Amino acid sequence: MPYFIICCFLLLTGFTLFSSTTLAQENQDSPPVILNSINVTATRTEQQPEQIPNAVTYLKQDTSQNYKPGVTLDEFAQGTPGVFFQNQHNFAQDLRISIRGFGARSPFGVRGVQVRVDGIPQTLPDGQTQLDSIDPSLIERMEILRGPSASLFGNASGGMIDITTRSAPNEKFTVTPRQVFGQFGLFKSELFAGGQNGRFGYGLFGSHLQQKGWRDHSRVENVFSQLKLNYQTNNGSDWMLLLRKFYSLESKDPGGLTAAQVRDNPRQAASRNQQFNAGEEVSQEQFGLRYRKKFTTTQTLSITTHGLHRDFQNRLPFVGGGQVRFDRLAGGLALKLINDKPLFERPNRLLLGVDYGIMNDNRQRFNNDSGLQGARTLDQIERVQSVGPFFRNEWNMLDKLDLVVGGRWDWLNYNVTDRFQADGDQSGSKNLSQASGTAGLVYHLAKQHQVYTNIGSVFEAPTTTELINNPSGSGGFNTDLEAQTSLSHELGLRGTPGGFQYETAVFYIRSSNEITPFEIDSSPGRAFFRNAGKSRRFGVETRLASPVWHGWQSDIAYTYSDFAFEKFIVDNVNLEGNAFPGAPKHRWQGRVRYTHASGLFGQFRVQRVGKFFVNDINTVSNNAYNLGQLLFGWEAKHNWLEGSVFMGINNLFDEQYNANTRINAAFGRFFEPGPPLNVFGGLRVRIVGF
């Protein structure tokens, strides 16, 4: 269906909702709950969602978050259209997140999507993000900016996830222990303590997770802790200090299987992964410090600095260079000035800022002799620096029309110093620079309805891992790999009539030099990368949520993704018109929740993921699957004590499905099966004040 016809159809659908705002008033005994006004910060200033010309999803911790396992980040963001999660069960590869196709190529960790926690970047200057050091049980709020946002965040900003962890509770002291247990050896212990005393607030969190795993060779154990301090001065300024420690004792990698192996025994691990003891160990420390000062009623300055140390050891399922060790130091500084002075006597906000980031990896590779460290094959120091000045202007040019424009210029420098010169000196450097821009309009149809449009550019530079994974087998950089660039167009309609929430977004993205992964037979399990010429993405995202009515609440979301290569030749084979691997064309998600005044609660969630290809040549696909989750329990409160017990059932329909797919994997090892129907439960206690 042509782009114009689909846009018209979606707009008509939205106007139908707009004209039926009295629906929630039909039941006079239970008036609708009108949503309170909220502000989001994903655009680097505090703004109401209805003033932003982008698709933004705002998620706040509700009661149901306390009764989930708290193991992977997707538990918090389930039901968000346009966002696709994979790999919830292989902790050695980390959770994979794709927003409008950005990040779908990632063999491990997150690519193409920016992540920030409490304003501290988790995305490194080269564009890679690890999520293992974010405990989902600690999340208080999450904002997802869907679509390119390079004018604000620079490299790898195909989408933005902004996370806020638990703030200090209003009481002087609160302690909340929580215990979760489940099948396949799941056992997670958590403890949160915090409070406020005048201008000072604090929150301390710790957790310990261990799980045997459903598949062979998939055991995981890690510990996490965070200290968050806030101090409000008496001169209009405030400080925030954040300290985190993450230690993964072990994360085994069961590896990918062929379709025949999945049919024969989905619980098995790949034989090579067991032979070479594939997996990783990680130790990471991080700090962040933010200072904000409000000079006048219209001017605010913010300064943020942060640092990170990561000690990483990894074993891959092959001999030559199959063991990786690196010691990483990374950090940065961000300055931001907000000016709220009117422009032509109309409300206006100007944001000026600059980001600086640096990372330094001392990387070594050794042969993997059946799990033991063998001879050294690589020793080099990799350094990346980035600088990005930016601006954004938000102007209420007319009573019903907002205009937003922004721009940024990014400079990146990659440098590698070869300290293992048995195969020659592979030292070198590489510079990349890119300008990014955005422009958007929001038209307010009525107080609770808006139509918006935007155009924006985004670029995605290769990460150091992608650059140094050279198919030739030598050290240094893969000089053939270039940055990916994209231009995005978006049209959307949203509103909150009578307590309902609805949103529909249509987007079209053209990309050049799409970065795609592949494997070679000599190094199975290790991803290499190449540019794919040109590609295009067309998609539709829609969601409808009801208000609470007699304890009931529900929502449903649908995502349509038509992503294809326009120019891509591999081994003299023309792949023009082939679909992106790893991106299902259709996805449905729905939820129904009920809460009784007695404290009993229940929730049913279901999602359908459509069929998608797992290789560029589109010869192998991952079958469609349906997943369900049932959650129920009881909670009670008496004076200073709150308590709850809960149980849940994952994969309610006992579906045989693949929880992860390895794109373009060698030897047809594309699939990582997910666990069958399984049960979990737990209890939570909250003690307030002494």
Top pLDDT among 210 and 21 is at: 210
**Which token pair is 556?**
């449903």
pLDDT tops 50 at residue 647: yes
The mean pLDDT of 433-452, rounded to a whole number, is 95
**Which token pair is 374?**
């063998």
Lowest mean pLDDT among 95-99, 100-104, 379-383, 469-473: 469-473
pLDDT tops 80 at residue 477: no
Q: In 3-state terms, what secondary structure has residue 389?
A: strand
Please state, rounded to an integer, the average pLDDT across all residues of the chain: 89
pLDDT tops 90 at residue 292: yes
Position 4 scores a pLDDT of 38
Lowest mean pLDDT among 4-8, 322-326, 568-572: 4-8
The mean pLDDT of 443-457, rounded to a whole number, is 95
Position 234 scores a pLDDT of 81
Give the model confidence (pLDDT) of 102-115 as tens digits: 887 776 778 889 99
Position 53 scores a pLDDT of 97
Give the model confidence (pLDDT) of 76-85 as tens digits: 888 899 999 9
Q: CB atoms < 10 A from the CB of 573, how many?
A: 10
Top pLDDT among 229 and 93 is at: 229
The mean pLDDT of 622-646, rounded to a whole number, is 94
* Sequence-ordered strand ranges (E) for 571-611: 573-574, 586-595, 600-609
Listed in sequence order, the residues at least 6 apart from 96 whose beta carbon sits closer than 8 Å to its beta carbon are 85, 86, 87, 103, 104, 106, 108, 110, 660
Top pLDDT among 610 and 462 is at: 610
pLDDT tops 70 at residue 9: no
pLDDT band at 473 (very low <50, low <70, confident <90, very high): low
Q: Would you say the C-alpha torsion 31, 32, 33, 34 has a positive or negative sign?
A: negative
Lowest mean pLDDT among 296-305, 443-452, 465-474: 465-474
Place of tokens 């404290």: 599
Residues of the chain with pLDDT > 90, as a percent, come to: 73
Q: What are the residue ranges of helices labelled H in 165-309?
A: 259-264, 271-275
pLDDT band at 283 (very low <50, low <70, confident <90, very high): very high
Residue of 564, 562, 567 lying closest to 531 (CA atoms): 567
Highest mean pLDDT among 14-23, 236-245, 509-518: 236-245
pLDDT band at 471 (very low <50, low <70, confident <90, very high): low
Listed in sequence order, the residues at least 6 apart from 454 whose beta carbon sits closer than 8 Å to its beta carbon are 53, 54, 147, 404, 438, 439, 440, 441, 488, 489, 490
Residue type for 239, please? Answer: W
Q: What is the spatial distance between Cα 552 and Cα 546, in angstroms, rounded to a whole number?
A: 9
The mean pLDDT of 683-687, rounded to a whole number, is 95
Question: To which H or E segment does residue 362 belong?
Answer: strand 348-369
Residue of 314, 320, 308, 388 lying closest to 356 (CA atoms): 388
Class of domain 3-688: mainly beta
Give the model confidence (pLDDT) of 18-75 as tens digits: 433 433 333 333 333 333 458 889 999 999 999 999 999 999 887 777 888 999 999 9
Position 570 scores a pLDDT of 80
The mean pLDDT of 151-169, rounded to a whole number, is 93
Give the model confidence (pLDDT) of 331-347 as tens digits: 999 999 999 999 999 99
Q: CB atoms < 10 A from the CB of 450, how many?
A: 24
pLDDT band at 133 (very low <50, low <70, confident <90, very high): confident
pLDDT tops 80 at residue 478: no
Distances in Å between the Cα of 431 and the Cα atoms of 123, 155, 201, 357, 514 are 19, 13, 43, 15, 19
Give the model confidence (pLDDT) of 253-277 as tens digits: 999 999 999 999 999 999 999 999 9
Q: What is the spatial distance between Cα 391 and Cα 455, in angstroms, rounded to a whole number?
A: 16
* pTM exceeds 0.85 for this model: yes
